[in-house]
Chains A and B, each alone.
Chain A
């Protein structure tokens, strides 16, 4: 089996997955997994912060997939693989001795309809609520949110404009976003 440049390189993920399930040819699954192995590795590296552990996790995940892909209905293989990889890493961190705290909220589910159909009036109402919530944010968070989401400045530009550090900008944007979400949920409850 040659994963790179093999005869299956032009086939879609869905095609390879179907063939593997029907033919039970592991090279097909290897081909498919190799396409997304980097993604899995970097997701694991993001949580483990360890190169070798992340590599081991990639191999362990592949051995799990040999059986797992036949037991589940997979519509979007990369997204499904990401969820499986992230949950694997979180489970490993929870089972580890380093008492790494992982909140259950970090475990991801397959998203349902994140963008339900909204009417124009409902959108207008939510935008006015969002403006009210932005006004209520702390200043650094509000400035960073305004530059990034409204003025469409990248992190690097925000850093250059505000003089905040990159990590601060990322943190302000991330925290401001969460506060806006909480504010919007409170507004929805009041309605």
Chain B
């Protein structure tokens, strides 16, 4: 490439005849060795022939436009990538948020509910809940579950009510839909402890409902029938799942039946003005509220009373006379014996067991007396007959 090829203005001077013969010859001589220079000069000759103006500025502007357009296209591509990345990031965050909210700890149905204490006396104890299924009642009796406290519980998962709650008002609780509420007691508590919702407050003062729900079936004082009926009505108003309601109803029904049996027995025994014992266990009489009432038939030295089922065929008065006479013959004037026995085919006592006795020497004597004594009647052949023979009670 000759030195003239890049100097268009100089070449234009050549074309316009503005150069000296020597300068012109240099260019013309170079043209024969440089094809590009020849084409440029011929182009300049064409321009001169067409009388067009030099396009330099216009060409530079167009090149600049192309450069700018390509740069904008590049930036636009980057913008598109940025927008796409932002959308993906938003979806990702939304997905994580959705998954997090769907976790058991934050599910709506498992929200912990905390009621502000109505009484300012116990305001120092603010219940905080860790277990999402745990229900916290608070009023005068603030309840805290010490082992499950979590200090930094998300506030959004708590619903705080500032409305005062009446002391005896039944408070609402929510439980997992599939979780059964099991009544604590030896007969029905057969679930894993983790599934048991313990509703027993630590405070000694209990609402009626909590008393009912925590009553130990068969081990405590029976719930009065009036209370049971009321509780059943309250139970229907509770927002519990059907399974839980069914379980609670079953427990209440069972308690009602047992109370009816007790009352029936009480009535029948009252006709005899005799001893009343609840349940069929002698051991329960020691610690229970069973009462032994003295007989009013005038027998001083001996009182033999049935605890359950059986009665002598000759009647209690005759039987008591028989027992007193026989024991006096053997030299026993004071005695206190609890006895159980079955009846054989001849309705005679058999399998006689001395449950408790004030004098061990008396045991064999009483067994012998009973075996040789009158026949018996048993209302329930499947259960043994219990009686007590007590000289002290008879003397009162």
Q: Report which A residues bind B (CB closer than 8 A).
A: 1-4, 26-27, 29-30, 33-39, 41-47, 49, 51, 54-55, 58-59, 62-63, 66, 76, 78-79, 82, 86, 108, 148, 152-157, 177
Contacts and interface: CB of A to CB of B under 8 A. Distances in A.
B271 to A, nearest CB: 113
A8 B46 CA distance: 32
Nearest to A83: B36
A47 B21 CA distance: 27
A58 B56 CA distance: 11
Contacts of A49: 46, 50
Which of B62, B63, B71 has most A Cβ within 10 Å? B63
B278 interface: no
Contact of A42 (B32, B35, B47): B47
A85 to B, nearest CB: 9
30 contacts: A26-B70, A27-B67, A30-B66, A37-B59, A37-B60, A38-B56, A38-B59, A39-B5, A39-B36, A42-B40, A42-B47, A46-B39, A47-B39, A51-B50, A51-B52, A55-B62, A58-B59, A59-B62, A59-B63, A76-B1, A78-B6, A78-B36, A79-B36, A82-B39, A86-B39, A153-B21, A153-B25, A154-B25, A157-B25, A177-B32
Nearest to B8: A38
Interface in B56-108: 56, 58-60, 62-64, 66-68, 70-71
A47 B39 CA distance: 8
Nearest to A106: B35
Contact of A43 (B40, B55, B63, B71): B40
Interface in B8-44: 8, 17, 21-22, 24-25, 28-29, 32, 35-36, 39-40, 42-44
A93 to B, nearest CB: 14
Interface of B: 1, 5-6, 8, 17, 21-22, 24-25, 28-29, 32, 35-36, 39-40, 42-44, 46-47, 50, 52, 54-56, 58-60, 62-64, 66-68, 70-71
Given A27-B67, A59-B62, A78 B21 contact: no
B60 A34 contact: yes
Given A30-B67, A86-B39, A79 B1 contact: yes
Nearest to A115: B33
Contacts of A59: 59, 62-63, 66
Given A44-B43, A46-B46, A55-B58, 17 more contacts: A3-B60, A29-B67, A30-B63, A33-B63, A39-B40, A41-B55, A41-B59, A42-B44, A43-B36, A54-B43, A55-B62, A58-B62, A59-B63, A62-B63, A82-B1, A154-B24, A155-B28
A188 to B, nearest CB: 20
Contacts of B5: 39, 78, 82
Given A46-B42, A51-B55, A177-B32, A62 B66 contact: yes
A66 to B, nearest CB: 7
A76 B67 CA distance: 23
Contact of A55 (B28, B43, B59): B59
Given A3-B63, A26-B67, A59-B66, A148 B28 contact: yes
A156 B28 CA distance: 10
Contacts of A46: 39-40, 42-43, 46
Contacts of B22: 154
B67 A1 contact: yes
Contacts of A41: 43, 55, 59
Contact of B56 (A37, A86, A156): A37
A45 B46 contact: yes
Nearest to A35: B6
Nearest to A114: B33
Contacts of B21: 153-154, 156-157
Nearest to B44: A42
Contacts of A37: 56, 59-60, 63
A23 to B, nearest CB: 13
Residue of A30, A58, A62 with highest tally of chain B CB at under 10 A:
A30
A142 to B, nearest CB: 17
A112 to B, nearest CB: 14
Contacts of A58: 59, 62
A104 to B, nearest CB: 15
A58 B57 CA distance: 13
A36 B59 CA distance: 10
A31 to B, nearest CB: 9
Nearest to A38: B8
B3 to A, nearest CB: 11
A29 B67 CA distance: 9
A38 B55 CA distance: 8
Given A39-B6, A153-B25, A34 B39 contact: no
Contacts of B63: 3, 30, 33-34, 37, 59, 62
